Amino acid sequence: MTTTLAPGSAARLAAILAASAALAAAPAAARDEVELVTCETSLGTIAVVDGDTQGWSEYGLGSPRALVNALAVESGCFTPHSPASGEAADFLMNVIAGTSEEVDQSIEVAKGAAMEGLVRSGAAGSLLGGVPGAGAVLGMFGGFGGKKKRYAAGIKLLSPASGQTIVTGSGEVKKTSIDFGGGAPWDAGANAAGYAGNKKGKMLVEAFVIAFNQVVAQRETIASVPAAAAAPDYATVAAATTMLAAPAADAEALRSLRVGTTLTPTGRREGLFIEAEDNFGTKGWVSIEALD
């Protein structure tokens, strides 16, 4: 049985394979001197979120979100999302850290999900055959094993609309080789995250730089993803709430809102409240926590 992929799908899958194969074929020596990749233009906005493997807490460190946002800004490759913009982020950047084995397992799951459709379709063999070095793709993240404990970080770039993994990147470090201070591009982020003064934190900084670079190396795949859909021009009440005269919990109540009530946002937002209008023309403020 022969399976045919749509032209757009085939092109995207080929891009994934080519980028992944390039990463798999990269010599280990390339990691000896780590430099943050740079881009002439941003690939899109990102909302950085903590992933399922939060090894930094075991090391007495806080979330690396500030670090990763700083890498995005310093590299010019992504733009941190501003909730105040009222627009959805183009991508979710899911960050994880821990031992090499923990990160390897999490990345493998994400990579497997991204490749699942390819394998099920039977197209993997033909596409892999057409990409030099792509034979290592399916197992490219399996090399973190071993007896020596290494510190690792991973980044999974996700589509907010579907939750699907678009690309992944990972880095492992046994002993840091990067400098801190002197204007290094990761200095601000490392200091903001509290990693610069901690031995394990410094290793995680380098691991995140490597992982970030790997994500950006797959920019063709990232660019092939459709732009995030515009926010809907209506909102539905998901939990009984109250429309208020001002964006404050203690403001005057204008009317009660039942579950299922449809509202039209005006585009104004203050903290956790948006201004919206009901079908009868009543305009007021509603908590976003009560809306779908």
SS3 198: coil
pTM of model > 0.85: no
Give me the numbers of helices (H) and strands (E) for the chain, helices first please.
Answer: 7, 11
Per-residue pLDDT of the chain (292 residues; tens, 9 = 90+): 444 444 455 555 555 555 555 444 444 434 457 889 999 999 999 989 888 788 898 888 889 999 999 999 999 999 998 877 778 889 989 999 987 777 877 777 665 554 443 444 343 344 344 434 333 333 333 433 444 567 899 999 988 766 678 999 999 988 776 666 666 667 766 776 778 778 888 889 999 999 999 999 999 999 887 765 555 577 889 889 999 999 988 999 999 999 989 998 887 878 778 899 998 889 999 988 788 7
Domains of the chain: 7-223 (no CATH), 235-290 (2.30.30.40)
CA angle centred on 56, ends 51 and 57, rounded to 5°? 95
Strand partners, 283: 277
